Amino acid sequence: MAKHVAVLMGGWSAEREVSLRSGEACAKAAESVGYRVTRVDVGRDIAEVLRALKPDVALNTLHGRPGEDGTIQGILEVLQIPYTHSGVLASALAMDKAQAKIILASNGIQVPEGRVVTRAEAARAHVLPRPYVLKPVREGSSVGVFIIREDQEHPPQELHRTDWNLGDDLLAETYIPGLELTCAVMGDQALDVIEIQSDLRFYDYEAKYAPGGSRHILPAQILPNIYQKVRMLAVKAHRALGCRGISRSDFRYDDRTGDESGLVCLEVNTQPGMTETSLVPELAAYAGYSFGELIRWMVEDASLDR
């Protein structure tokens, strides 16, 4: 009998729409390789829904909270339903960018200099020398990220919005110029490295998910030693946070340095996007996995936390 796979998608985070797209793509791929699939638009009754469904595996395609921060993982642990991607602790750590930076740095992985500030503090005056980056501590997909340029006199006016719902803690970091690089880890093996180029302000939500929003150079046209260093650091970051399944680490490389000192890890994504413009399916395809084979690998790799 075919495995029954519950594809968890949607939810109520700022990344709901892209999660629905990821989920539908993964559901179709899972059906194409023979699984029995139930699509689940996650609501606050998710525990009752899953208890009634009794799936063999949960394919988690949620982005943001509660699907990426350890919350849904904890529910699946209680229900004893094996699930894809990282477990409770790794998900919570990676989602909290400030805590993740501490762990990455303690494992010898270079991260941007910076500090956590309140939204009110960031709205009043510049919190770091320009240029710098402001980002919500616990969001993904570049939601709520601002790059403050050298000629920007005042902090972003959006920080004063009364409908701001991205949390009151922000991470302020020194802006790292150069190339945008990313590398996925599948199991315990690094895939290849993509350089991301965009004509937009930076690799923001629109650049990530709008058709034509960015260009992916695969393999990245960088020095061989830097290429291999990115792959090594992606695996090191994956292990340091305790990730499992698939993760994706994002880097900036200041190529003016000409050496490894310019390579900085920005963050680790435990729930990478799986849409038609997403990076992990592209990296997996380059490694010889069709989209259906990638989904099969994820489903068969699913487990409870260990």
* Binding residue numbers for Mg(2+): 250, 267, 269
260 labelled catalytic: no
22 labelled catalytic: no
Strands laid side by side in the 36-41 sheet: 36-41, 4-9, 57-60
CA distance 178 to 253: 5
150 labelled catalytic: no
Q: Which of 275, 245, 293, 288 is nearest to 34 (CA)?
A: 293
Catalytic residue (one of 68, 214, 278, 282): 278
Cβ-contact 108, 161 below 8 angstroms? no
- Please report where in the chains the tokens 């920007």 appear, as a residue: 152
Catalytic residue (one of 13, 15, 22, 68): 15
Catalytic residue (one of 19, 141, 214, 249): 141
Half-sphere exposure of 112 (CA within 13 A, CB side): 25
CA distance 87 to 77: 9
Binding-site residues: 250, 267, 269
- Whether residue 136 is preceded by a cis peptide bond, meaning omega within 30 degrees of 0, is no
Catalytic (active-site) positions? 15, 141, 278
